[in-house]
Amino acid sequence: MAEVACDDRPLVFEDLVRWFEAGAKPAADWRVGAEHEKFVFRHGSHAPVPYEPQGIRALLEGLTRFGWTPVLEGDNIIALERGKANVSLEPGGQFELSGAPLETVHEISEETTTHLSEVKAVGDELGLGFLGLGYTPIWTRAQIPVMPKGRYKIMREYMPKVGGLGLDMMFRTCTVQANLDFGSEADMAAKFRTSLALQPIATALFANSPFIEGRPSGFVSARANVWTDTDADRTGMLDFVFRDGFGFETYANYALDVPMYFVKREGRYVDVAGRSFRDFMAGRLPELPGEKPTLKDWADHVTTIFPEVRLKQYLEMRGADSGPLSRLNALPALWMGVLYDGAALAAAWDLCKDWAVEDHERLRADVTRLGLKAQVGGRTVQDVAKDMLAIAHEGLKRRARLAGGADETGYLSDLHEIAASGVTPAERLLELYNGPWAGDASRAFETFAY
């Protein structure tokens, strides 16, 4: 029998709202969880890696020597846990670290460095390497193996019904994310609207995916472009976030109207793709007649929504291409500097508060092609990025979280260089492609492997 609300009654709308509210924490308890994905490839051939033999399963099993505990789906290892961190698989075998909630960028850097050294140790034994780019530089979709996770089968069948590039999102992209806390509903709203408006600025700074199937694609972030044609019901810039009165109720109503993917029961994924969570709350799902959802069902459903910033019991920054270790650390540093200092948050909102709703969506699309050369509000993205970084720098400086006598501002150095030059990482890749690589995009697997 399915669980119901903690007082043995079916869920009501207020329960859904309270689930978001439960994430609020006092500032002293704010932490950041850093996440990043990377492509796994065979040394020598640069081929994508199947689950087995001698593939992703063996990699997961090998990591258990470092104290990771396997998570099973049926007989398959599909994730690992260690403390509050976990390693998981994206649909095409992209390997993801979801880090523990940590207090400083110094700790995040140590955690990420440790993870990369562990996967490299096991990967070297298996002949596997790891690449941090936003989009695979050479693989076709058909070449990429499918990981044995039930939810991905449901998504794979549903995606072509609602967008042209959803399968590319699933199989050919990698991102770096940062998850940040909020102190109250008002604090959540201020952080949400500011980070959502500025997310395309981060997309431009981190743009690192100019190739599709071995050729320049015309995009500096092919990954970000994929999200513009994945599923309009669950992606985008959420114009309601910028309206007066936005809060937990607004987002809960939005999430209720996002079509479902699945319900998990007794370790099995029930395909309810396209169904309404509102109908589920009324016991009207044909696949689960008379059954009503639990809070765990609600939490699962919320994870299937993919806007540029996502609200769970924290806020997820979702706008950046994966990249080298320095930029895996730079993303949480950027958002901590902007969002965890009151003066910085106010200054950052001043940068974007006058942008119109149509500016947000246009900018989201423009930066995929133009990067720092895109324009918004009469300014170039490069100029906005410089201001955003200056604000983040001061925010981190005021935080004054030291390690070895250094504060967290040093983690922004890559981004300062990118903004000052006006040249995205993707454009640097294109310089290599048109120069020393002599038109061979596969050189990325050696040049930029971790």
| pLDDT at position 1 | 30
Reduce the DSSP state of residue 134 to 3 states and report it. Answer: coil
Summarize pLDDT for 16-36 with one digit per residue, the tens: 999 999 999 999 999 999 999
| pLDDT at position 241 | 98
| pLDDT at position 239 | 98
pLDDT exceeds 90 at position 5: no
Summarize pLDDT for 131-189 with one digit per residue, the tens: 999 999 999 999 999 999 999 999 999 999 999 999 999 999 999 999 999 999 999 99
| φ, ψ (nearest 5 deg) of residue 260 | -75, 165
Distances (CA, A) of 257 to 14, 245, 299, 401: 16, 19, 15, 41
Percent of the chain with pLDDT over 90: 98
Contact indicator for 111, 99 with CB cutoff of 8 Å = yes
| pLDDT at position 9 | 85
Contact indicator for 28, 91 with CB cutoff of 8 Å = no
Summarize pLDDT for 83-113 with one digit per residue, the tens: 999 999 999 999 999 999 999 999 999 999 9
Gap between the Cα atoms of 57 and 43, Å rounded: 17
Reduce the DSSP state of residue 207 to 3 states and report it. Answer: coil
Summarize pLDDT for 275-320 with one digit per residue, the tens: 999 999 999 999 999 999 999 999 999 999 999 999 999 999 999 9
Gap between the Cα atoms of 177 and 179, Å rounded: 7
pLDDT exceeds 80 at position 4: no
Helix or strand holding residue 144 (H, E):
none
Contact indicator for 186, 27 with CB cutoff of 8 Å = no
Gap between the Cα atoms of 394 and 180, Å rounded: 18
Q: What is the mean pLDDT of residues 343-372?
A: 98
| pLDDT at position 74 | 95
Q: What is the mean pLDDT of residues 213-237?
A: 98
Distances (CA, A) of 153 to 149, 261, 320: 7, 10, 26
Reduce the DSSP state of residue 178 to 3 states and report it. Answer: strand
| pLDDT at position 330 | 99
List of domains in the chain: 31-258+305-447 (3.30.590.20)
| pLDDT at position 8 | 66
Indicate the residue type of 76.
Answer: N
Gap between the Cα atoms of 203 and 173, Å rounded: 14
Summarize pLDDT for 369-399 with one digit per residue, the tens: 999 999 999 999 999 999 999 999 999 999 9
| pTM of the predicted structure, to 2 decimals | 0.97
| pLDDT at position 3 | 38
Over its C-alpha atoms, the chain yields an Rg (Å, rounded) of 21
pLDDT exceeds 50 at position 2: no
Summarize pLDDT for 192-223 with one digit per residue, the tens: 999 999 999 999 999 999 999 999 999 999 99
186 Cβ partners below 8 Å, 6+ apart? none
Q: What is the mean pLDDT of residues 329-343?
A: 98
Contact indicator for 267, 73 with CB cutoff of 8 Å = yes
